[in-house]
Structure 1
Amino acid sequence: MALTYFKRFRMEISLADLPEEPPLSPGFRFQPWTAEILKRHAEVKYQSFRFEVDANVFPCLGDSEGCFRLMREISMRDGFLPAATWLIEHEDPELGDWRPIATVQGVRDREGNGSIQNLGVVPGFRGLGIGAILLLRALNGFREHDMTRASLEVTSQNIGAIRLYERLGFRIASTVYKAVEMGAVQTSTHA
């Protein structure tokens, strides 16, 4: 196996002047965190990341069970913040049921700031502004808990996600490299 280095950006934002959170379109709704929907978060995470470069950087994202374990670990952290952890669901008119299509998780970091763990939107629902709305909901959750700053990390190849974060006010604070043992590297750049 070859050792591959992935360039990642640590991006930060001040929570003082966030853009206003736009409303969701009809047929979409927020689902606040409860432990009962952990599996739904994990499934959306898997559907969002399994064919993306981040599944190479973090192999658990390319595996359904790995996403479940990761979601469980995030939810059990001392700094886990339910107010910054959300699902967005879409109403399936054919089935008459709600299907989860986007997820975000937030934790309080060691410095007392907000930290986005994962933001994922399943293919087919990208490009509709759902990621921006979901991220703003999480950032407002941090602000409700008196945090003044938030951060996230993004793989440099994920140009769509970087553009979204910059549009919302995030700025690159530092560059980090993640070493991963792997064979062939996939290079999809979907946001």
Structure 2
Amino acid sequence: MALTYFKRFRMEIPLSTLPEVPPLPAGFRFRPWNAEILKRHAEVKYQSFRFEVDANVFPCLGDAEGCFRLMREISMRDGFIPAATWLIEHEEQVTGTWQAVATIQGVRDRDGNGSIQNLGVVPGFRGVGIGSLLLLKALHGFQENGLPRASLEVTSQNIGAIRLYERLGFRIASTVYKAVEMGAVQTTTQA
């Protein structure tokens, strides 16, 4: 089987001078991490990534059960940081129930810095600014835990995400390539 190589950027930001987290738009709220909502994180992760290029790079993101396993694995890591792991929920106007629409997870890496694992916003809730607010909330969680820097990786084709990260102060630190077997690659559309 042939391999396909996906170009990814490792982006970093110092945590010393973060702006405050502005309030969420009306009808949205932050939900802090607790183990009881692990499945909700996994569901949002699946809804956010299943048709995106990252589901090609990491096939588990294109599978509901794979997202659940990944979320459980992240939450069980020694360096898992609950203060950097959040959901954003949106209130359904008709029913008054809260629906999870965005997720982020953070861990401490082996160098003692923060590492964003996944930032996902469900289609239909993109473009209203909640992704940047969610990322800032996670970065503040790293800062509260005394971490000096944070990083994330992003597929080079995800121009919207790269622009978001640069607006918040992330800079490209290195380029990495992720090899994926062609048989594992699914046909998806790019955001």
TM range (shorter): over 0.9
Q: Cα deviation per residue 1:59-107 (whole Å; 9 max; x = unaligned)?
A: 0000000000000000000000000000000001122200000000000
Tell me if 1:46 matches 2:46: yes
Whole-angstrom distance in 2 between the partners of 1:117 and 1:58:
12
Q: CA RMSD in A?
A: 1.1
Residues 144, 17 of structure 1: CA spacing in aligned structure 2 closer, same or farther, 3 A cutoff? same
Q: Distance in 1 between matches of 2:188 and 2:4?
A: 12
* 1:10 matched residue in structure 2: 10
Judge conservation of contact 1:89–1:101 (CA < 8 Å) in 2: yes
1:71 pairs with 2:66 = no
Letter paired with 2:114: G
Code of the residue aligned with 1:18 in structure 2: it is L
Q: Show the 5 A alignment for 1:99-110.
A: 99-110=99-110
Identity %: 81
Q: Is the 8 A contact 2:74 2:80 kept in 1?
A: yes
Distance (Å, rounded) in 2 between the aligned partners of 1:50 and 1:185: 10
- Counterparts of 1:18-97 in structure 2 under 5 Å? 18-97=18-97
- Deviation of 1:185 after TM superposition, in Å, equals 5.9
How many angstroms does 1:26 deviate by? Answer: 1.2
Q: TM-score, normalised by structure 2?
A: 0.97
More displaced 10-residue stretch of structure 1: 89-98 or 60-69: 89-98
Contact 2:29–2:89, Cα closer than 8 Å, also in 1: yes
Residue 188 of structure 1 deviates from its aligned partner by 3.4
In the alignment, the residues of structure 2 paired with residue 18 and residue 159 of structure 1 have an alpha-carbon distance, to the nearest angstrom, of 23
The whole-number CA distance in structure 1 between the counterparts of 2:188 and 2:10 is 20
Q: What is the Cα deviation at residue 31 of structure 1? A: 0.4
Aligned residues: 190
Q: Post-superposition shift, 1:182? A: 1.8
Moved over 6 A (4+): none
1:17 match: secondary structure: coil
Contact 2:55/2:186 (<8 A) preserved: no
Superposition map of 1:134-173 within 5 A: 134-173=134-173
CA deviation string 1:105-152 (max 9, x = no partner): 000000110000000000000000000000000000000011110000
Rounded to whole Å, the distance in 1 between the matches of 2:124 and 2:79 is: 32
For structure 1, the 5+ residue unaligned runs are none
Residue 21 of structure 1, CA deviation: 1.3
Q: TM-score, normalised by structure 1?
A: 0.97
Letter in 1 for 2:190: T
Q: Tell me the CA shift for residue 189 of structure 1.
A: 3.3
Counterpart residue type for residue 74 of structure 1: I
**2: distance between equivalents of 1:189 and 1:12?**
24
